[in-house]
Chains A and B, each alone.
Chain A
Amino acid sequence: MRLGLVVALALALVPLIFIDDVVNPNPLTAQPLVSSVIGNFYFELFELKPEWVRTVVSSRLLLHANDTVLIQVFLSGCRLTGGSYTLRVRHVSTGRVYEHSGEVEGEALHPPLFVAELGGIHEILLEWDLRGEGGCEYRAEVVASRGDKSGYVRAYAPAALAGLLLTGAAGYAVWKRH
Chain B
Amino acid sequence: MRSGSATRWLRLVNWYLNLFHVWAISVAVFLAYIYLYDRFRISLIGGHYPEPPGGIWFFLITSAWGLGEPLVTAVHAALVSAVLFSFEEGEGFSYVRHSFGVGRAPVYLAKIAAGLLLVSTPLAASKVFMAVVWDYRLLTRFAEFLSASVAVYAAAAFLSLYLISFYSFWALVVGRPVYFLVGAFLEANLMETLFGGLLMLIPISFTVFQPFGPAAAIQRYGDRFAIALVHACAAFVLQLRGEVRWK
Listed in ascending order, the chain A residues whose CB lies under 8 Å from chain B are 1, 4-5, 8-9, 11-12, 15-16, 19-20, 22-24, 36, 38-39, 57-64, 67, 92-94, 118-121, 123-124, 144, 146, 149
Hey, which chain A residues are within 8 Å of B67, CB to CB?
19, 22-23
A93-B135, A120-B134 given; A8·B180 CB < 8 A: yes
- Does B184 touch A at the CB level, under 8 Å? yes
Residue in B closest to A6 when the chains form the complex, CB atoms = B180
A4-B176, A4-B180, A12-B71 given; A59·B46 CB < 8 A: yes
Hey, which chain B residues are within 8 Å of A57, CB to CB?
47
Total chain B interface residues with beta-carbon distance under 8 A: 35
Question: Is the pair B40, A64 in contact by a Cβ cutoff of 8 Å?
Answer: yes
Question: Is the pair B42, A38 in contact by a Cβ cutoff of 8 Å?
Answer: yes
Apart from A60-B47, A118-B137, A146-B42: 4 A-B pairs, beta carbons within 8 A:
A5-B180, A23-B67, A62-B45, A94-B137
Residue in A closest to B49 when the chains form the complex, CB atoms = A58
A selection of 11 A-B contacts at a CB cut-off of 8 Å is A5-B184, A8-B180, A15-B71, A60-B47, A61-B45, A62-B43, A64-B40, A67-B40, A67-B42, A120-B138, A146-B40
Question: Is the pair B36, A120 in contact by a Cβ cutoff of 8 Å?
Answer: no
Residue in B closest to A69 when the chains form the complex, CB atoms = B42
Q: Which residues of B80-136 are within 8 A (CB) of A?
A: 134-135
- Does B227 touch A at the CB level, under 8 Å? no
What are the interface flags for B161-184 relative to A under an 8 Å C-beta threshold, 1 for contact and 0 otherwise? 000000000000000110011001
Hey, which chain A residues are within 8 Å of B71, CB to CB?
12, 15-16, 19
A4-B180, A23-B68 given; A93·B45 CB < 8 A: no
Question: Is the pair A4, B177 in contact by a Cβ cutoff of 8 Å?
Answer: yes
Question: Is the pair B41, A62 in contact by a Cβ cutoff of 8 Å?
Answer: yes
Hey, which chain B residues are within 8 Å of A36, CB to CB?
42
- Does B63 touch A at the CB level, under 8 Å? yes
Query: For the complex, what is the distance from the CA of A119 to the CA of B38, rounded to whole Å?
Result: 14
Query: For the complex, what is the distance from the CA of A154 to the CA of B165, rounded to whole Å?
Result: 46
Query: For the complex, what is the distance from the CA of A141 to the CA of B198, rounded to whole Å?
Result: 34
Q: Which of the residues B47, B56, B66, B134 comes within 8 Å of A59, measured between beta carbons?
A: B47
- Does B155 touch A at the CB level, under 8 Å? no
Query: For the complex, what is the distance from the CA of A16 to the CA of B180, rounded to whole Å?
Result: 17
Residue in A closest to B140 when the chains form the complex, CB atoms = A93
Question: Is the pair A20, B40 in contact by a Cβ cutoff of 8 Å?
Answer: no
